[in-house]
Structure 1
Amino acid sequence: MESALSAGIQMAEALQTRLPWLESMWLWVTFLGDPKSLFLLYFPAAYYASRRVGVAVLWTSLITEWLNLVCKWFLFGDRPFWWVHESGYYSQAPAQVHQFPSSCETGPGSPSGHCMITGAALWPVMTALSSQVAARSRRCSPGLVDDPPSPHGAGAQFLWSDCTGPHAGCQPHLLDPHYAGPGPFLVQQDVGPPNGLPGSTLPEGHSSHRSINLASKWCERPEWVHIDSRPFASLSRDSGAALGLGIALHSPCYVQVRRVRLASSQKVACLALAMGLLGALSWLGHPPQASLFYVFNFLKYTLWPCLVLALVPWLVHLLSAPEAPPTRSS
């Protein structure tokens, strides 16, 4: 593990010293790969392009982020900005690596949420796009024979088509509003480790607050250590989003618009309005106390799917619906 971390540090040092002009690009890539961007960008964009794909993106995000959190508590991987100091690996020649606000995260570093969560959540989007491209290719070239898929690709495609196809076998489970129950279940499964409650099990020699203490100790600027990067923040986000998804699918607004085929202009209006509202919620301040922040974060992400699935489409459809022609008096 030390060799992998050392190679990562050397690569980061080389990029920062030899290609400093790429700094803004890499920060932007980091933002796009952040799991929080799934809720802010990818989920609403995918939903307004295809309702089924959008729900799949959100559901995959919730499950994968929970699995990522479980893996983090078992693996307890170090983050580079504190590992270079704690390990003593660079005691003779300290590494010249700059820190950024996005690098001072407080949770364990392995496995990477940027890779695991975002990559898994975008898989439905890529599968849907590849299906569209393949369908258009077959229409343009009827005699074209498809390449045989790889075993893992065929399996993933089968699961995706089974869940989202016209005769979806698991469609009732995917869209059933009663599956909001995973929210409390996720809290019950993970509330112990991040908070050190009785009964929590962590690897031997690891404190439940070890990663938070190390981040606070070695981050260059205290204001970069954000409370929303704590492990339990992602759990409150996922639990709230799961509950909000169930509420949205059961809401009167969603019932009114679920059978309506929105025009392209209406979809663009929905996306613009949703992005504006979600952006305002994202930049909204939060309580400094950890317990109040978790409650606030839970409520905020409960509202998130309600806005995207129900309130925004209902409002756009209501405002853009053609008025009925006036009746002529006899």
Structure 2
Amino acid sequence: MDSLHTTGIRFAEVLQAGPPWLEKFWISVTSLADPKCVFTVCFPLAYFLDRKVGVSVLWIGLVSEWLNVVLKWFLFGERPFWWVHESGLTRKQLVVLRQFPVSCETGPGSPSGHCMITGAALWPLVTALMALASRHSRSLVVKMSPFGAYVLLLLAVGLSRIFVLAHFPHQVVGGILTGAVLGWRLQGCTPANRTLGFFVATGLALLLSSLISPPTSNSPLSSPRRRSIRLATKWCSNPSWLRLDTRPFASISRDTGSALGLGLAASFSLPRGGHLDPWQRLASALLALVAIQVLHWFLQPTDVTLWYGTNFFKYAIGPWLVTFLLPQLVLSLTPPRRSPHIN
């Protein structure tokens, strides 16, 4: 593995030695492809394009993120920003690398969550756009353009993760392939007509699974979590870059909250005749994006336990805002559509 890791470090050096303007591009890509954007950006946009697709994006996003956490517990995986020091490579060879505010992730590194979760969650959106393109054009290029954009996006995300020293190339490749397969396999398994009880049970199952190896235990699964936090803290060049939302339990609280949020969404429905026209969908989508960003920006406690609880609440309330409250608000603020007059 050392030779594979060393090759990855050299590849990261080549990327970081590129044109200066690319630095902002890679950091922007890795920030926009953060798994939480699946829940706060992709889900609202997909939902107001097509309700079934939106629910599928959120469901696949939370399931794939949970699976990513489980895989990281078992596979562990070093991260370049700490391995380059722990391995002693910097003492043996000249290594010219920089860290960035998005480098210091505190969980294990294999497979890449950015690639795996984004690749899985966007699959139903890509297939929906391909079906839409097929209905409006016979050109193979037009039909395949959403898939081409999907591939280019995942390639850019993977390169950005290598650039910021968050992942090695083999972790990125593993994340992309796993994410695409998950998206393909889970697309037909979206629980579209399930009740609140189903989603509550799902959330509890996700939460209990994370408590199999609490940090205080001596089980094999708890050691990688403790070690990854210790190494990230030790080798991050700026302590302020260490963020709670990169820890594995932050992902679990997000997934558990989102599962409950889907249950709340299933328990509420717009009044009869509450169909949204295209302009109302656009207004609802914009409102949802703003409301969710404000919600996540406003609630930022410093206490760790309170932070996890607040994180759970924010992701639980998000789907309800998107699927019921904000569309209901838009319907109440816009005049009812008049039926055509019949003589």
- Shared fold (TM-score, shorter chain, > 0.5): yes
Preserved contact between residue 64 and residue 116 of structure 2 (Cα < 8 Å)? yes
Per-residue Cα deviation, 1:159-193 (whole angstroms, up to 9, x for no partner): 74xx4xxxxxx67x333133212111101011233
Q: Displacement, 1:322?
A: 2.6
| Counterpart for residue 256 of structure 1 | 271
Residues 19/46 of structure 1: CA separation in 2 closer, same or farther (3 Å cut): same
Preserved contact between residue 121 and residue 183 of structure 2 (Cα < 8 Å)? no
| Counterpart for residue 11 of structure 1 | 11
1:238 aligns with 2:231: no
Provide the C-alpha distance between the structure 1 equivalents of 2:75 and 2:185, rounded to a whole number of angstroms: 31
Identity %, equivalent residues: 47
Per-residue Cα deviation, 1:231-276 (whole angstroms, up to 9, x for no partner): 100000000010011012202xx2427x633111111111111111
| Counterpart for residue 328 of structure 1 | none
SS of 2:298's partner is: coil
Provide the C-alpha distance between the structure 2 equivalents of 1:31 and 1:47, rounded to a whole number of angstroms: 22
Q: Give unpaired runs (5+ residues) of structure 1.
A: 142-152, 164-169, 325-330
| Counterpart for residue 320 of structure 1 | 334
Preserved contact between residue 270 and residue 328 of structure 2 (Cα < 8 Å)? no
Preserved contact between residue 281 and residue 300 of structure 1 (Cα < 8 Å)? yes
| Counterpart for residue 189 of structure 1 | 209
TM-score norm. by structure 1 comes to 0.83
Residues 284/59 of structure 1: CA separation in 2 closer, same or farther (3 Å cut): same
Preserved contact between residue 108 and residue 224 of structure 2 (Cα < 8 Å)? no
| Counterpart for residue 111 of structure 1 | 111
Preserved contact between residue 81 and residue 219 of structure 1 (Cα < 8 Å)? yes
1:28 aligns with 2:28: yes
Per-residue Cα deviation, 1:127-155 (whole angstroms, up to 9, x for no partner): 111112223336x99xxxxxxxxxxx9x9
Paired residues, what number? Answer: 298
Residues 262/300 of structure 1: CA separation in 2 closer, same or farther (3 Å cut): same
| Range 20-29 or range 288-297, more displaced | 288-297
Q: Displacement, 1:301?
A: 0.7
| Range 288-297 or range 20-29, more displaced | 288-297
Residues 157/100 of structure 1: CA separation in 2 closer, same or farther (3 Å cut): closer
Residues 90/45 of structure 1: CA separation in 2 closer, same or farther (3 Å cut): same
| Counterpart for residue 137 of structure 1 | 137
For the pair shown, the structure with the greater C-alpha radius of gyration is: 1
Provide the C-alpha distance between the structure 1 equivalents of 2:298 and 2:321, rounded to a whole number of angstroms: 16
Could you tell me which amino acid in structure 2 is paired with residue 284 of structure 1? F
Could you tell me which amino acid in structure 1 is paired with residue 10 of structure 2? Q
| Counterpart for residue 221 of structure 2 | 202
Preserved contact between residue 192 and residue 198 of structure 1 (Cα < 8 Å)? no
Preserved contact between residue 192 and residue 199 of structure 1 (Cα < 8 Å)? no
| Counterpart for residue 171 of structure 2 | none
Write out aligned runs for 1:151-300 (5 A): 160=187, 163=188, 173-177=191-195, 178-180=197-199, 181-193=201-213, 195-198=214-217, 200-202=219-221, 206-251=223-268, 254-256=269-271, 260-300=274-314
Q: CA RMSD in A?
A: 2.7
| Counterpart for residue 48 of structure 1 | 48
1:86 aligns with 2:86: yes
Provide the C-alpha distance between the structure 2 equivalents of 1:64 and 1:207, rounded to a whole number of angstroms: 20
Provide the C-alpha distance between the structure 2 equivalents of 1:37 and 1:157, rounded to a whole number of angstroms: 20
Provide the C-alpha distance between the structure 2 equivalents of 1:30 and 1:292, rounded to a whole number of angstroms: 27
Q: Displacement, 1:157?
A: 7.1
SS of 1:90's partner is: helix
SS of 1:102's partner is: coil
Q: Give unpaired runs (5+ residues) of structure 2.
A: 141-179, 339-343
Could you tell me which amino acid in structure 2 is paired with residue 136 of structure 1? H
Over 6 Å off, 4+ runs: 155-159
